[in-house]
Structure 1
Amino acid sequence: MLKPGISLVQAARFLGVDQSSLYMALQKGQIPTRRQNGRTVVTSGALMEYQARKRANFQH
């Protein structure tokens, strides 16, 4: 299971996208971020919610 405070590189790998695609989703506010020790990170919950939304939209 993914742990809280996932780096953006790890998040892109988890989602199976390149970093530029992840950054676009972040800029659009599709995945919330937070600061942890001076770094921008995402939570595993945020990634899983984003992934579920993308799957639901793909199926329609």
Structure 2
Amino acid sequence: MLKQGISLAEAAKRLGVSQSDLYVAVQKEQISTFRTDTRTVVSLGALKDYQIRRSFISDHKP
């Protein structure tokens, strides 16, 4: 079974963040990625997980 995913540029757009902010999150392993033959992509599940964690954290900041 092939994994489905979206490009890092598309993931940044969907999250409403800059590509550089997304790259930092990927580098800090806050969002999971995987490699296809030629590119690094984000699964839709990983994108949703990150969105949930990000909203939870922002909702609970003092």
TM-score w.r.t. length of structure 1 = 0.90
2:11 is paired with a residue whose SS is helix
Aligned-partner SS, 2:32: coil
1:50 shift after superposition = 0.3
User: Aligned Cα RMSD in Å?
Assistant: 0.7
Q: Specify the structure having the higher radius of gyration (Cα).
A: 2
Structure 1 residue ranges, 4+ long, deviating more than 2 angstroms after superposition = none
**Number of equivalenced pairs:** 57
Whole-angstrom distance in 2 between the partners of 1:33 and 1:50 = 11
Task: Name which structure has the greater RCO, CA cutoff 8 Å, separation 6+.
Answer: 1
TM-score by length of 2: 0.88
Give the unaligned 5+ runs of structure 2: none
